[in-house]
Amino acid sequence: MRVVLASKSPRRKLFLEMLGLEFEVIPSRVDESSVEESDPVRLTRRLARLKAEDVARRAGGDAVVIGADTLVSFEGRVIGKARDKGDAIRILKGYSGREHEQITALCIINTRTGKVLEGHEVTRGLCREMSDEEIKAYVETGEPMEGAGAYTPRFHTRLFESIEGSWTNIVGLPMEKLVPMLGEVLTE
């Protein structure tokens, strides 16, 4: 059965390649800004499902479609991509010495059987204290504008003092959750 990743994320693609899976990429066309939900977990689960459903409709033939969505939650609020450098500095200063969560939801659809599996992973990260100079230097690299929460996985090793939960979730695809879900869907 074909496996389809409903994401153009190079990190998600790399994780599936590491599993040795043969798969194709069909990016979702879901307009994330059109989805309103204040609860971070419900929002990311809804977006993952919408992405998987969108690609399942377009994939054609029998396929197992993997939809995923990742967001950052800080003090109960969703932190999206930084609007500009000033916004990135503000976000990163807020994290300094404090904890926030990275949430990734998964939705896997078997188009042949109609089976849908959903789940999510929450990883809590305690950020180390960062100086204004360090934050400004990082923002100048342009990386904070690439992803939700104003940082990328390349920076997380310098950002976090400690994490509780899945490291692969921080990168955007919680393998501990994905592998058993795929096993269940692919053996049908």
- Among candidate residues 54, 69, 84, 132, the one labeled active-site is 69
Residue spans of alpha helices (H) in 96-174: 132-140, 153-159, 167-171
The region that residue 149 occupies, defined by phi over 0 for left and psi between -120 and 50 for alpha, beta otherwise, is left
Is residue 69 flagged as an active site residue? Answer: yes
Name the pairing type of β-strands 160-164 and 63-74: unpaired
- Distance separating alpha carbons of residues 44 and 104, to the nearest angstrom: 7
Buried b (16+ CB within 10 A) or exposed e, 72-86: bbbeeebbbebeeee
Beta bridge pairs of residue 120: 105
Buried b (16+ CB within 10 A) or exposed e, 45-60: bbbbbbbbbbbbeebe
| Rg, C-alpha atoms of the chain | 17
Residues assigned a catalytic role: 69
